[in-house]
Amino acid sequence: MTSSLALISEGFETTTDGHPPAPMSDGSTKNNNSETRDELNPFHSMAHQFGLAADLLGLDAGTREVLRQPDRELTVSLPIVKDDGEIQVFTGYRVQHNFSRGPCKGGIRFAPDVNLDEVRALAAWMTWKCSVVDIPFGGGKGGVICDPRELSQGELERLTRRYTVSIMDILGPDRDVPAPDMNTNEQTMAWIMDTYSMHVRRTTTAIVTGKPIVIGGSHGRREATGRGVMLICREAMKKLGRSPEDTRVVVQGCGNVGGIGALLLHREGYKIVSISDMYGCLHDQGGLDMPAVMDYMKENGRLEGYPDTDYLDNKEQLELPCELLVPAATENQITSENAGRIQAQLIVEGANGPTTPRGQEILDERGVMVVPDILANAGGVTVSYFEWVQDRMGYFWTEEIVNSRLEQVMVKAFHSVADMAELHNVNMRTGAYLVAIDRVARVYRMRGVFA
């Protein structure tokens, strides 16, 4: 079985205009997509992962059909007046994959290569992620095609506000609750909260999570994804019988997930031998002084130039000698092309979708343990849930309470996935999908089909 065949068996193809593809019953491919294009399409990856677990669960055809495609997709056109007085029109998306278990939940990313298939995949991954950690949300995701580095702060604010107004018919604390993702942050969330609140004529803090603490954000939210990654590393390491002191770690990405994850892992005693930004990576087999590296990053906006360490091309980074690899940047980093050369024994996915299905198969053959994204990076959305709860109560918790509740959720989720994987003799990714899909499918069947 090749992965492209497996992908096709879920009936997905990408159409060039980005419209929903028609499922194909005969399993054939009509677009004659190249294997690489299939492999690198995140929606195909998601469909493949979903299909493997749905088969094992013996999911009935109807429920399968419902859960494999998004419930709703919105594409919006976003004109803004640039600083030079010219109008520029951007494109934005919000995809709601499923809300059986609660309001849709998921971030908004600003990036030049955002596309509908990516947002669809990310929305579905949010459904499975919220289900794996058993928080009462469905999945959604948004994106705006833009390069934030080319926009002024004022332009970014106008774009964010216009996007909010354009999608606000489908948003709401009980409907769909956005959060930060790639290139969006607390400030972006503050603008969304304000824009929504001005339109509904009341301050509605629970409309987004990942806000600044002074306007209803939660303690611990900023660090939550990185903290979750650290907790999952701890549980996985126990399973492998390894200790942090003799574990070299390569971290791809030094943003909110990779940077904070690396700092916390360093604090736990791991040796961080490499960390990257979008331009290149630092490498020191003796171990990096992570607090100093992150201070340098903050001051200079990039890692290049950090003293007394090697600075390498990012292409080499994932293949550096190490025991633990944390891809915490973006999709499609571990593929059929490089999976055979990865030296780590344990991979903990801080990013969404960093490993393609073919990449995973190669890692499986080589006995590498991969803790999948929908479990490993679920710390962020878990504390988003805590933030939403606190906003609705109007009563705020201490950082200690947030962190200890996060730990309980992550540890429990890790073990339910590991147990499920063992029970079915499958890898952790399929174990996580089994846990997630089973929960959503049960709720779906219990609620029944509205007619």
Interface with ligand GLU (CB under 6 A): 105-107, 179, 181, 209-210, 352, 377, 380-381, 384
Picking from 415, 242, 266, 232, the residue whose alpha carbon sits closest to that of residue 323 is 242
Would you say the C-alpha torsion 264, 273, 122, 425 has a positive or negative sign? negative
Q: With contact defined as beta carbons under 8 Å apart, do 12 and 42 qualify?
A: no
Which CB atom, from 126 or from 151, has the smaller least distance to ligand GLU?
A: 126
Residue 427 per-residue DSSP state: -
Which CB atom, from 209 or from 247, has the smaller least distance to ligand GLU?
A: 209
Instruction: Tell me the pairing of strands 176-180 and 248-252.
Output: unpaired
| Residue 141: active-site member | yes
Q: What minimum distance in Å lies between the beta carbon of 293 and ligand GLU?
A: 24
Tokens coding 81 = 């007046």
Which CB atom, from 24 or from 389, has the smaller least distance to ligand GLU?
A: 389
CB atoms within 10 A of CB 269: 11
Q: What minimum distance in Å lies between the beta carbon of 209 and ligand GLU?
A: 5
Which CB atom, from 210 or from 431, has the smaller least distance to ligand GLU?
A: 210
Instruction: Measure CA 62 to chain center.
Output: 27
Q: What minimum distance in Å lies between the beta carbon of 381 and ligand GLU?
A: 4
Q: With contact defined as beta carbons under 8 Å apart, do 104 and 176 qualify?
A: yes
Three-state SS at 90 = strand
Which CB atom, from 357 or from 379, has the smaller least distance to ligand GLU?
A: 379
Q: With contact defined as beta carbons under 8 Å apart, do 104 and 135 qualify?
A: no
Tokens coding 443 = 């709720």
Residue 254 per-residue DSSP state: -
Q: What minimum distance in Å lies between the beta carbon of 389 and ligand GLU?
A: 13
Picking from 344, 378, 375, 352, the residue whose alpha carbon sits closest to that of residue 240 is 344
Amino acid at site 345 = Q
Q: What minimum distance in Å lies between the beta carbon of 129 and ligand GLU?
A: 6
Per DSSP, what are the bridge partners of residue 98?
Answer: 139
CB burial of residue 245 (10 Å; 0-12, 13-18, 19+): exposed
Residue nearest to ligand GLU (CB): 107
Q: Which of 105, 129, 141, 271 is catalytic?
A: 141
Distance (Å, rounded) from C-alpha 271 to C-alpha 269? 7
Distance (Å, rounded) from C-alpha 409 to C-alpha 417? 12
Which CB atom, from 64 or from 221, has the smaller least distance to ligand GLU?
A: 221
CB atoms within 10 A of CB 65: 12
Distance (Å, rounded) from C-alpha 18 to C-alpha 7? 18
Q: What minimum distance in Å lies between the beta carbon of 211 and ligand GLU?
A: 11
Q: What minimum distance in Å lies between the beta carbon of 331 and ligand GLU?
A: 12
Which CB atom, from 21 or from 353, has the smaller least distance to ligand GLU?
A: 353
Q: Which residues are designated catalytic? A: 141
